[in-house]
Structure 1
Amino acid sequence: METISRQNKPQQQLIGAHMSAAGGVHKAVERAEAAGATALQVFTRNQRQWNAPPLEEHDAELFTAAVRRWGGYPVSSHASYLINPAADTPEGAERSVALMADELQRAGRLGIEMVVVHPGAHKGQGETAGAALAAARLDEALERCGSPAVMVLLENTAGQGTMLGASFAGLAAVIEASRMPERYGICLDTAHAFGAGYDLRDAALYDAAIRELDVCAGLDRLRLVHANDSLTGLGSRRDRHTHIGQGELGEAAFRLLMRDERLHHVPKVLETPKGKGPEEDMMNMAVLRRLARP
């Protein structure tokens, strides 16, 4: 596996978006470069199917070459939405482990160091039992994948249904239950945090949320931010993204995020609505860059 990364601390914040891999996963890199992004998130396979064709060596070579030409900016992949690490049946658990292992293996072959995954739904088993199951299944996937440089990033959730990870303590519980906690990091989704009840619009409340994350899991584990505005209100327990500054979070929250020196080095990627071209991503990245300026 060839790992591609930038060696120097960035002077400017790393801002990008989730890009389509239509036409080949390397096309996502080309789309990121065309949009002026300095960070990228991709799906390495169809996220809505259990089975997918194997990753060909030619595809991996095209991808790593494209990342190198782009400048070696940070790339993460997002695991399939079908995966439930806290599944309450043996069949569901095995399918989730196998799919997660495949996601990790693909990332390893592409030189991607971070795979984002939702911690899953406990389906009535309770959060403690769910966290223990999620850790055990994700550990097994890490062992199966054979890619020791790839890290699992647990993404916080809005807390809909029985989803784990609506609180930072809930994410930390999964990591604490793991046999290999060094292989885990955190992805902070701003819209999900807002939906779960973290008010990021007020300076004091924003600071309290980041401090809570630090106390629960450590800011050194925060490796990625999903910068998304929310169509739904504080504590709605719903996951609905919209353009930066045009939702319930508004520009105030993203101004605090982008000017937070503690998070300066953490890549921020958009998962906001988009059309066929790069215009919406370019618009949202421009807003984030503007808000980062004093």
Structure 2
Amino acid sequence: MPHLLGAHMSIAGGYYKAVDAAAEFEMNVVQLFCKNNNQWRAKAITDKDVKLFQESMAKHKVGAPLCHASYLINIASPKDELWEKSIEALGVEMERCEQLGIPNLVFHPGAFVDSSLEEGIERIIQAIDKLHAQLPDCPVTLLLETTAGQGSCIGHKFEHLQSILQGVKQGERVAVCLDTCHIFAAGYPISDEKDFKATFKEFDKLIGFDKLRGIHLNDSKKELGSRVDRHDHIGEGKIGVEAFRHIMNDKRFKKIPMYLETPKGEEDGVQHDAKNLATLHSLVK
């Protein structure tokens, strides 16, 4: 069975366009936004949108579509107005995913700003519980993303995500998406094989591989423990190619969908996505 490899692709021109673009690069999975990620408002999804998206998925045999939620959402916020607005926005995104037939919605846990880490985690738990109560039959799983830990962002320690997963009433409706750049920037070494094994032993102990539903494959422009989130091309950043060799040859990652979020564009006539995918494929023993 081949690895489940894809990238975040643009929905400009329609949701199906992201799937078509993924297929052009021979990707078998895809990540996309299901609305403009920098706006609160969202245009209604039509039956035609859904039909074209589903048809493109079937035609190209692209699976495991993953939706990335808006960057504006902050369900850890101590400010009631933003907290309520974020819950509503996340709920709308869950419903949009359900409409399109997307099983998982990944989002950043949020920032506690001028409150405390503990209060921020409690706000996240309360928000997710509220969403689950409002949408009891929604089949979409919320994926908490590991973060780099910039400012007061929550999720840069595996313990943060463990606390949320254990605190949510309907824990089976929540899982995790791991970002290689983020965990490295947060201080988890993964380049050396010994470090890689130790980091994922800790991940398995605190969160569990059964809760890992997606991986963002990104190298890092910044150093280990910098707590700065800057993505780089595979093998060209501070993480280096060896960490990705470990991932591509570890059977625990074989069935987990993996999505590039590396910089777009091209160099010498070769698209960066194609180059990054080729690098990953070349690492498989």
Question: Do both share a fold (TM > 0.5)?
Answer: yes
Indicate how the Cα distance of structure 1 residues 93 and 168 shifts in structure 2: closer, same or farther if over 3 A, else same. Answer: same
With 111-120 and 142-151 compared, the bigger mean Cα shift is at 142-151
Aligned to 2:192: 202
Give yes or no for the alignment of 1:223 onto 2:243.
no
Taking the aligned partners of 1:82 and 1:278, their CA distance within structure 2 comes to 33
Query: RMSD of the TM alignment (CA)?
Result: 1.4
Superposition pairs of residues 137-286 of structure 1, within 5 angstroms: 137-145=127-135, 148-275=138-265, 279-286=271-278
Mapped to 1, the partners of 2:158 and 2:220 lie a distance apart of 19
SS at match of 2:59: helix
Classify 1:213/1:286 alpha carbon distance in 2 versus 1 (closer, same or farther; 3 Å): same
Q: Does 1:289 align with 2:277?
A: no
Aligned to 2:96, the other structure's residue is in SS state helix
1:80-110 deviations in whole A, cap 9, x for unaligned?
Answer: 0000011111101111011100111000011
Q: Equivalents in 1 of 2:30, 2:133: separation in Å? A: 26
Residues 103-145 of structure 1: CA distance to partner in whole angstroms, max 9, x if unpaired? Answer: 1100001110000001000113222221111121123233434
**TM-score, with structure 1 as normaliser:** 0.93
Larger mean Cα displacement after TM superposition, 85-94 or 63-72: 63-72
1:62 to 52, 57, 70: 52
C-alpha displacement at 1:65, in angstroms? 1.3
AA of the residue aligned to 1:284: N
Identity %: 39
**Equivalent residues of 2:30, 2:62 under 8 A apart:** no
- Following the alignment from structure 1 to structure 2, what is the Cα–Cα distance between the partners of residues 212 and 126? 25
1:123-134 matches, within 5 Å, as 123-134=113-124
Unaligned runs of 5+ in 2: none
Q: What TM-score results when the alignment is normalised by the length of structure 2?
A: 0.96
1:144 and 1:62, CA in 2 relative to 1: closer, same or farther beyond 3 A?
Answer: farther
Deviations 1:182-235, CA, capped at 9 Å, x for gaps: 001110000000100011101111111111111111110001000000000000
Unpaired runs of 5+ in structure 1?
A: 1-10
